[in-house]
Amino acid sequence: MGARVPKGRLARGGKLGRLAAEQTIRGVGTRLSMLGRTEQARQVLAERSTLQAAQQLVTVLGGLRGAAMKLGQMLSVLDVDLLPAEHREMFRGKLAELRDHAPEVPFDRMRTVIQDDLGPLSRVFADFDETAVAAASIGQVYRARLRDGREVAVKVKYPGVDEAVEADMRNLAMFSRLWKSILPSAADGDVLDEIARNIGSELDYPREARNQHRVAQRYRGHPYITVPDSIEEYCGPSVLVTEFVDGRSFDRLRDLPDAERDRLGELIYRFYIDPVFTDYEFCGDPHPGNILLGADGRLAFVDFGLYHSMDPAHVELERAALQAAAEHRGQDLHDGWASRGIIDPDSGVTVQECLDYVWAATGWHLLDEQITLDPEFATGAVVLAVDPRSAEFGGMRSQRLPPEHVFSRRVDLFTLAALGQLHCTNNWHRLAREWMYREPPVTEIGRAIARWQDSR
């Protein structure tokens, strides 16, 4: 009997509620049981608690999939302060199963989904590997060969996942409880609300196919980056067929020499961050499972279900705020936010609090010096940005970014989290000046990209 995606709100909400309660109880019980024990006993208990918590998150969130599983994928790239520092890597590795090795749905059930969209497999494919090569929050990916000989990736929705996501969206309060049990400093559910709302767009495979085709055309012939094209004639409501990328996974990139990781880090930054300010659109799902190093040496980016555009006026507001913070023009930042209703001018929020908040959340773009990113650095920025109500920013209680800014902030923060996993070093401010001030590039990679763009 294959794994089934629970669809109902009560079934899914009940699982999430039990998970939140059990996480809290486990934390209290483990702390109490450590009293009076030797250091060795504490270590054993901590390891046991870590593994139990990680396994439970993988099982429950992986079984739910949809927006619930997206939460687990997000947590897998953060150095969340759940555990003693020496055990966090173990926990994060287990959560990474949600990204790379989620519970698999047997192929006989997935075959039905494919054939409902495309008809008999033999009509479209000359060969189809029935073992999934990847599993994501709403579907599994298979490798196949079209009848014309092209190697393709076939992303197929889990049966019933549309209904499951709808149930998740009605369970936002439960998501907030689960989030707080894992990351207590998250004082509200704004970011979770944004995730649950936007994951609905991931269900629209025809839209994703169109977006991916457009982005693939934009990067066609790029010297360092490649985007596999969608094959729209074989894309339907539940099946997405794209060119196949045969490359090394993100986890294998961690073992590369420092200089190569730094080079790849610059490309990741340019792919996810730059388009917000240069094209007013962006890929909203930067995480390690969507990044591969191709056999030709180019970095490949996949998954365009969360691809969004922004109103240029909103982008320019964000650019102006970052410029003001970079130049320590706190009064301009404060006045700009107050005029747009982002902060209440009568709330007591000070100019310095505005500056401190922007620097805490986005300072890696603003500091003009070499910075080596790591998971601890990335997590600190994410927590401060998600929870401006922490003690350091007590006066920021009235901050309310417009919804699309919350989404673009997520792109920024989770790009930072991915780069932290690679321990990349760069002067990120020198890269940021290209989109912050429209200055010419100063890196070898940037200049090569500029020459390529000019030649098109």
Catalytically annotated residue among 117, 285, 356, 387 = 285
Strand 299-301 to strand 425-426: parallel, antiparallel, or no bridges (unpaired)? unpaired
Sequence-ordered list of residues with C-beta below 8 angstroms from that of 376, at least 6 positions apart, any chain: 79, 420
Residue 70, judged by CB atoms within 10 A of its CB (0-12, 13-18, 19+), counts as: buried
Q: What does the alpha-carbon distance between residue 58 and residue 99 come to, in Å, rounded to a whole number?
A: 10
Residue 412 is among the residues annotated as catalytic for this protein = no
Helices 330-339 & 351-366, crossing angle to 10 degrees? 110
Tokens representing 365 are: 């773009």
Cβ atoms 53, 82 nearer than 8 A: yes
Q: Which amino acid is at 180?
A: K
Radius of gyration of the chain (CA): 22
Going by C-alpha positions, the residue among 420, 424, 428 that lies closest to residue 446 is 428
Q: Which uninterrupted H or E stretch holds 299?
A: strand 299-301
CA 203 – CA 164 distance, rounded (Å): 11
Q: First and final CA of the chain: distance in angstroms? A: 54
> For 439, which DSSP code?
P
Q: Which amino acid is at 416?
A: L
| Separation between Cα atoms, residue 325 and residue 331, nearest integer Å | 10
Q: DSSP 3-state assignment of 443?
A: coil
Q: Are 267 and 445 in contact (CB under 8 A)?
A: yes
* Coil, helix or strand at residue 147: coil
What is the set of active-site residues? 285
